[in-house]
Structure 1
Amino acid sequence: MQVEILTKEDLKQFKAELVQELKDAFGGNAKPQNKEWLKSNEVRKLLGISPGTLQNLRINGTITYSKVGGMMYYRYQDIMKLLEKGGAK
């Protein structure tokens, strides 16, 4: 059996990596890249905007969306294009 010695620095690095993975998994700054359609709250988090600002972006045609029932959905690709152009903020 091989013994491996861990230092305090090793444990600190492990802790930092674990905390970052948990944040990513539970929505810290996670970007839902694997989803084609995003809900309004996901778009607001991604763009860092308020519900009113998102509504204004819909009204003035800056952002496209689809409405299904009472829910608004946005294509992830459209949001990324908006970010690249710098049109959200």
Structure 2
Amino acid sequence: MKIKLTPLNLVSASFLVIAAWLLINKQAPDHSKSIDLSKILIGFSLLIVVVAFISDQIFRKFIPELKKIWIIESVFIIFAVLLFFIIRITIV
């Protein structure tokens, strides 16, 4: 089996590390009824891991060439980040 490193693999691995770090370095609970920000960030990070992994598998299935995968996945990541910031700016 030939291992192909792709941008979405790097993104999913990075957010998996972030989620694990947030889970390990969590602050002690303060027994308040408010939602803990670290739980939201852990959930958001795990959601990004799942979406990045599934997207990577879809791109691998339909695009056989590694160079094209890198270009298309990089554009996909840039588009997703820009869309995130546009939505964030319009909500706030």
TM norm structure 2: 0.30
Larger relative contact order (Cα-Cα within 8 Å, sequence gap ≥ 6) = 2
Higher percent of residues as strand = 1
Higher percent of residues as helix = 2
